[in-house]
Chain A
Amino acid sequence: EVVLVQSGAEVRKPGTSMKISCKTSGYTFTDYYIHWVRQAPGKGLEWMGFIFPQNGETVYSEKLQGRVTLTADTSADTAFMDLTSLKSDDAALYYCATGDRFLKFFWGPGTLVTVSS
């Protein structure tokens, strides 16, 4: 059974950074992509980017380019999402999901991020 476990809720001040983890199990971590998608309260889904753990390839949304970094620890089957220079509109539920280059077959439960001074 594929399971994605995400780190707990975060509360950050504007201008600071955060790092969310996504621990996977039930499949070969290096065979599939890890996508990150966020959802602001009451809003729709926003694709942020993906990483292919096998070779470290990353593709980021241009909107977040320069502020987001995706990494993967293949020894721990865990992916990470770093977001810097946080703003109020970064407050959202952040999902990791695994799948192929484009599709997201299995999703994590989400990590709630609050940005407030």
Chain B
Amino acid sequence: EVVLTQSPGTLSLSPGDGATLSCGTSQTLRSVDIAWYQQKPGQSPRLLIYSSSIRATGIPDKFSGSGSGTDFTLTISRLEPEDFAVYYCQQSGSSPYTFGQGTKLEIK
């Protein structure tokens, strides 16, 4: 099973800041294998990024993804109150299609 380790577990920032969230994988993956989801309290997850760097429909360009091999990153610029949520990476390189444990982005 591919293990995804997200860091930090919690990130405390202020509106207007930029955020960098990391996702490390226990095996080398292709860029197409990584997606990022956002989950706000009390809501279902939402697809943000797929194939490491492609924004899903309707996702603003303040969200960007990058990475390769075993290290992947989600970057969020100019944080707004609605961006404070939990972010999960997920791999589709091999079954089971595991998620990371999540990074909670909270208001400082």
- Chain A residues, Cβ within 8 Å of B1: 62
Taken residue by residue from 71 to 108, chain B's Cβ proximity to chain A (1 for < 8 Å, 0 otherwise) reads as 00000000000000000101010011111111000000
Pick the residue among B44, B92, B101 that contacts A107 (CB under 8 A). Answer: B44
Q: How far is the CA of A97 from the CA of B97 in the complex (A)?
A: 14
Q: Which of B95, B100, B102 has most chain A Cβ within 10 Å?
A: B95
> A9 in the interface, Cβ–Cβ < 8 Å?
no
> A108 in the interface, Cβ–Cβ < 8 Å?
yes
Interface residues of A in 94-117 (CB under 8 A from B): 95, 97, 99, 101-105, 107-110
- Among the stretches A16-24, A39-47, A72-80, A84-92, the one at the interface with B is A39-47
Interface residues of A in 34-83 (CB under 8 A from B): 37, 44-47, 59, 61-63
Using CB atoms and an 8 Å cutoff, list the residues of chain A in contact with chain B. Answer: 37, 44-47, 59, 61-63, 95, 97, 99, 101-105, 107-110
